[in-house]
Structures are given as structure tokens and as C-alpha cells.
Structure 1
């Protein structure tokens, strides 16, 4: 459980700077320099190697020292010197140390929310630590049995897409779906959209798994045997969840205009559509955690690291969403 933070204190937001060879360090500097005044009620703790952060900021024309006052750097030393674009397994555990410090601080009540810059899964695994992704690691570290990955755009009526399964091989998806699991996923989405996003009556549209939502069983029975019964149970709990809809026709304005979130059955069913519409300005949110966590919608972009060509729009949106969610939680 998180500890209570005084309602009069500034919001405390932790930012993990992620893979040191990627764009995370410089995007953090760019985001805070470009939009720091946008969050007058927030203070930021940036987790990373202090010399690395100052150097990467300088490389893209930002005076890191000018951000002091509202930004605190919590120094964690690199495992090995880092160059933009060049991965080194010696820094795999460094990246995890940043994430652990943010999670521990949020669980202790020191942080109202955490924002994570992208990391490189392969570097962590090469360092000898089995690692699937941020979402799964956050669930394990917070002892949360069920979390939900949701990506979203920005603006007054953003497209939001949540996932019933996350980083699974496609051949394993059908077996991973269950009535209880989908009901719990819908419960988490409904709860967090109400309490962290300020939506009083969320409407959730749910895709089928198979082409044409199974074509009445001719193209698969998951819609009949699993998804539809889950929707019936969720509706009985007061959750406005509708479907299952064929995924190939659901993502159009006549369906999405009145929807607050789409629940897709697997990673590449819903996210290509969302990323096409929002990439570079979208966010990733982990729902169901006892803490608030947001992130960017992109990876480490090793080819852009250190060039000054990476765009901080997604990180700015992730920070903005974290601050907004923390405000809603504090006001609840």
C-alpha cells in the first residue's frame, strides 16, 4: 500500500531515464525544458547517472543546471560508460535499478506517479536478468496479480486501446483468454478510467479474437464461449462493455465517437491502429497497479540517440497524463 501524501504538497513525479544508449536521457531533458512550466503543481525527480544526463542534455542544446529548482537528479551510477546508440549489457542492471528506485518510492508514498522512458529488453536479458517488459515487471514488483496495458492518444477525446493479453506469442493468445480474465480486465479498466481519468461512466468496446468476430463460430468459438459470457458478467457488475466486434471494422469514427476505450484481445490487434493514429504523441499506461505509471509509446530509438532529432512529444504527453492521474487520485 502507498502512504498518504499531504493534499497541499506539490505532486511528486519520478522519471526513470531508461536505456542510457537510447533517447531516454535526452528526451527527459527536452521534455522538462520545453514544458516544465506546464505543470506548476508538480516537482520532478529524475533517476539516472548525473554526468550522463548533463552530457546528453548539453549535446541537444539544453543547460541541465537551468532545470534545477523544480527538478532533482537522484544519481545512480552507470555500470559502464555509455555512448549513444551502442548497447552494453553492463548497464542492464543499472536500468533496472532506476526502475526499482521509482517503484519503491511510489510504494512508500514518496512519489505520486512514475514516468518511464524506454528501456532495451535485450540489454537486461543479456545482463542475466529474465525480463519481459515494463508491464510485467511492475506487476511482479508491486505484487499485483493482474494489470492491464493501455495505450492512448491525446486531446479531449483520445483513442484508448487496452489489451486482454500483452507480450505473448500469437500462438498462445487463445489459450490465455478466459472468462474470468476478461471480466477482471474490464473491471480494472472501468475502475481506473473512473478514478484516475475522471470518467464517470466509461464505455468500453471489445473486439473479438478471430476474423469477423468468429463468424458465428465458423471461424472460431472464442467469441461465443469466452468473450460474450465475459461481457454478460461485466454488464451484470455495472460495467458498460459492448461487443464482441470484428476488429477490422471497429476502429472507425461511427463506433469510436462514443467510446472511452477499446479492449483488444492481443498486442498487434489493437496497437497498430492506435500507433498509426498517435505515434510520437501517444502514451502507455499500466492500469490496475497500486501506483500510477505512464510511459512513452516508442522504443529506445538507438539510431536517433545523441543526434538531437528525437522528438519529446510522447514523453511530454506521458508526464502530462501522470500529473493528471495523480491529481484525480489525490482529489478522490
Structure 2
């Protein structure tokens, strides 16, 4: 699979869009040359070759394309008004054109290299981690807020976390680090702490558009989300669309009715996870994403700059990562959540 980061692309630069999806298509088509050592995998590939070109940052892309009026339409629930239908036609044009590019490029590559054509080439894969690399809203999903505190988990004294401290970011103990009474610990250097949360103030690329602050994206209805993911599935995706629909308790019945209608009307295949929204952030402290307002965002950024000891993050990371510190995060792991104790070889 490959992934196009739409938040990095100009909505009005169609040549750039074609180049991006062409690159994504070629990068997956080339993998069809791979020969599996396991015979049954190779046999499956020969029967049904599968590739997937995905994207992330779609919501950001459409905000830049259509402006704050598109956000207001979302706030209203994406109703079938004349303006809403016009927005849907524009969404369809973008999604369909990208799908056409992907299939044309993949199939042309296969024809030129005598490979069997995949009959479906587009998907939206889970994109939480990779989306963060370019500050994109994940996949097709709306962001959690225009501005938020992003908390990333590291092992205590992890080289990256230590570099983040020198760069000015705040570090606190994780949600799992508590005292004997079950209270959250506050000192990251407490001996009882095993994991750190690095707090980074973040804003989306369109946060400062006039009028954007007036819209609470966390209030977007589950039916609006469902409508949008159906657009993505109908006009771009030929595999499956990774989707997490967020809802409140009073939305369960309307969503159930809408799903029933979708099945009855044969409106297209969809597979989605459901996630309850919690409006009381105090019930779940130190969340990975905590929405904040503009003044809090500006204040936190000023505090980061005041604490900053260096402007060269790579240089300070190299110093910590060369083993100069007595402690470091667990080695040999591809995840910051890998906290298995070191295994000593038996004699």
C-alpha cells in the first residue's frame, strides 16, 4: 500500500494531484513483481493481485478547497440543500478523478510488464500514525479540534523524549503511572514513573481561516460522518474505507436507522468502528488529543519557546541517541509501547 498526504497538496493544482496519485500508484504496482517464498501466497497473488493506494488529510484538503462554508455545512449535518448538493458534486469530482488516475497508472504498468491487472486498487487505510508526520487529519476523518494538545507516549528517558525536553516541550507521567492511592503522578522524574507523555501544542493548517474558530468540529454529528464516508467509499475506494464513527448516546438510534436504510437501498458497502464521544475531559485526563482554544494554544507555544534550549532538534537528538545517557528507552523495539523487560540468555 501507499499513501498520498492530501494536506500537502494545493486543491487547485491538478497537475500536482495527478503526479502524487501517479507516484502512489507506481509504488504499489511495482510490488506486484515480488515473488513470495510461500507457495500458497504466490498462488493467491496470481489468482487475485491486490494493491492499495490510500490517502490521508482529505478533510483538510476539502476545507482548503471549499472554505469555511463547507465546515458550516458539516455543522448543519451535511443536508441535501442546493449548496450541499453542489459540495457533494465537487467532492465526487475530486474523488473520482483520483481513483481514475490510480487505476489507469496501475493497469498501464501491469500491461507493459505482463502482470495480471488488480481489479481494485484504491483504499483508505488506518492512518493515525503516518498522518501525524505531516499534521494531517487522519484518512477522511475530521480532526479532533482546530487546536489541541497532542500527547505522545515514550518510555522514561527515551532519547527522543529527552530531546523534546531540550526543545521546550513539556513532559508529564503517563496515565498508567499512579501513587499508592491511585492518584496520577505529576513529576516525570519520580522513581515510580515508567512512561512519559510529551505534550505538543498543535493546530490544523486551516485553523486561522476567518470563521473557522466559530465551528466546533467535535460536535459534527455521526450522520454527517456517515454521509461523508459513503462519499469516499462510493467515489474513490474499491477495497474498504477505514472508518471510526464517533457518536453520543442520543445518536445510536438515528445511526442504526440510517445503516438499515443504507442496506435496504443498496447504497454501497461500508465497514466502520463506533467510538463513544466523551465531552467531560476531566473524566479521562491526559488523553492523546485534548482540544484547546486559540489563547491556550498561543500561551503553550510561548512557554515552549521560553523553555527551549536549542533550535537544532536533530543535533540534540543525536547527542542523546549516541548512548551518553545512563538510561534510555528499550532497544530493539519498533514501538514506544514495547516495555518488555530485558531477557537474559540462558546458559
Q: TM-score range by the shorter chain?
A: under 0.3
TM-score, with normalisation over the residues of structure 1? 0.26
- Structure having the higher Rg: 2
